[in-house]
Chains A and B, each alone.
Chain A
Amino acid sequence: MRIAAHPGLYDVEADPPTLSGTTCMRCGRVYFPPMAIGCEACGASEAQLRPTPLAARGTIHALAQVHLHHGRPPAPFTIAEIQLDAGPLIRATLARDEEDPQITDSVSAIWIVTGTGDDGNEIVEPAFTTAPPATETADEAARNGGNS
């Protein structure tokens, strides 16, 4: 069992990570983070907003290495805007060992371990990388990401 660092934003059982998005059944707009209450684009009610798993895969749109940060994770770390293949432009953290990422690079998510829960289960979150090891098992990916 893995525990999500951000409950409700992704499916911890999926490998590779899958993001928990929303699709508006009235206007077709796809959201991540998920949209509740009503659609920002067309005002459709919550009944029209359907959970939609989104592949955590896309292209780097913008990048910033953060040098000043109070709290976790300790700086420096890199935040990217990622244009998901599934539509939304999202913000996420790049994997720590990412070397020289560039705007327009293709990226996809791996699991990284950010801590251990009270029950000994790993707390995970997705981080994006330009070179995901395609054949790696989830546990290996999590270990590699977490140790970097």
Chain B
Amino acid sequence: MSTLGQLRRVRVVGVGLHPYQRPSDTPYTRLGVHAIRAALADAGLEWKQIQAAYTGTATTSMGMSRLMYRHLGATGIPMTQVENASASGSSAFRQACIEVAAGLVDVAIAVGVDKPLNVTMPQRAAGLRDLADGRVVPFTHFALLASRYMHDHGTTPEQIAAVAVKNSRNGALNPNAQRRKPRTLREVLAPPHISGALTRLQCCPVGEGAAAVIVASDEAINRLGLDSDRSVTVLSSVARSEAVYDGENFDAALTRETTAQALDEASVTAADLDVVELHDAFTVEELLYIEAMGLCKPGQAAPLLQAGEFDIGGRVAVSASGGLLAMGHPIGPTGVGQIVEITTQLRGEAKERQHPRARTALAHMVGVGAVCVVHILRKE
């Protein structure tokens, strides 16, 4: 057994996005090709130099890769869709990294692309029934977690809503974000109430978009004359699935386990992280995961967030992109878009959103099932 870091070094050499937006008539093929062309231009590569493609997607269609990639010129390379719920894009990126690290190819691309055309639930396919059948959709799942978090830590609804205030401020600085308005606490707490403590602006928008990341070996970077100074190293890549946890909620427990392993494999600690992109689909999740990752002690995330520790320019910038809450959560693109954001931060190219002296960054997604994928990147 090896970790990713023990195999051949993998570096991110190009990133690109199509802005996240409300569902439109634009076909996914056009969204995806826009992001891919941006990533190729960023890397200084041509499509014919890409040797493998992984497409993170969950809600569009089976067999959708080649219809998109053909517009770049059909080269016959292997193409694989990767579906892993909200972690689809993260999982596609992980597969691209693994293929380069293993030495099977020198240059691979991970593309996240989706439109909310075909949203399905596995419980129905499995024929599972529950007393709360159909009454607990994701926002109520997280409203339940929020109630328990408030009970355990004495956190107020205002403190939970403050996550959306911070992330809307960051999203307003991100030209690719779906929500680009900075919001006050009063606006975040205003109706419509959705479930429990969660209001509309505490739930992420699910729209459409695309994100692309190109990874390469050192050999390819030298051979193709790529800009090594702008490349970012993938220190670790870890994926886990839910085990049986007694008492502890599974989203937090799974995040704790997966992050701990990713930090260990990268030989860094939580205190070394400068930038963190996490699965803040609902406000309370950011507080839960900050604690589960070990960025602070249990129950401390809300007061530290209020004190500005997780702002851009704070101790560690959390959701500098605006996160799922403001940048948006088009599903397939989300995990790839996180890699785009942390790469941009580590390169020092995030402009108004730039977190000073960003050297080490983490990207985290959970997906229903439940699964969790964590990557740690560093600018060497």
In whole angstroms, what is the CA distance A104 to B151 when docked?
10
B196 touches A63 (CB 8 A): yes
Evaluate whether A79 and B133 lie within 8 angstroms (CB atoms) in the complex, with A61-B148, A67-B193, A68-B192 already known. no
Residues of B close to A62: CB separation below 8 A: 144-145, 147-148, 151
B132 touches A92 (CB 8 A): yes
Residues of B close to A10: CB separation below 8 A: 131
**Which of B129, B151, B195 is close to A8, meaning CB atoms less than 8 Å apart?**
B129
A9 touches B131 (CB 8 A): yes
A103 touches B131 (CB 8 A): no
A67 touches B195 (CB 8 A): yes
Kindly identify, within residues 133 to 175 of chain B, every residue whose CB is under 8 Å from any CB belonging to chain A: 133-136, 139-140, 143-148, 151
In whole angstroms, what is the CA distance A27 to B130 when docked?
23
CB-CB nearest in chain B for A73: B135
Residues of B close to A61: CB separation below 8 A: 148
Evaluate whether A63 and B147 lie within 8 angstroms (CB atoms) in the complex, with A33-B128, A91-B130 already known. yes
Q: B244 contacts the other chain (Cβ, under 8 Å)? A: yes
B195 touches A68 (CB 8 A): yes
Q: B194 contacts the other chain (Cβ, under 8 Å)? A: yes
As a 0/1 sequence over residues 36 to 74 of chain A, the CB contacts with chain B under 8 angstroms (1 = contact) are: 000011000000000000000000011111111101010
Residues of A close to B140: CB separation below 8 A: 64, 66, 79
Kindly identify, within residues 60 to 104 of chain A, every residue whose CB is under 8 Å from any CB belonging to chain B: 61-69, 71, 73, 77, 79, 81, 90-93, 103-104
20 A-B contact pairs sorted by A residue (CB < 8 Å): A6-B130, A6-B131, A8-B129, A33-B130, A41-B244, A62-B145, A63-B147, A64-B146, A65-B196, A66-B140, A66-B195, A66-B196, A68-B194, A71-B134, A73-B135, A79-B135, A79-B136, A92-B132, A93-B132, A103-B147
Q: Which residues of B contact A (CB under 8 A)?
A: 128-136, 139-140, 143-148, 151, 192-196, 244
Additional pairs, 11, CB under 8 Å, beyond known A67-B193, A81-B148: A6-B130, A62-B151, A63-B196, A64-B144, A64-B147, A64-B195, A67-B192, A68-B139, A68-B192, A91-B136, A93-B131
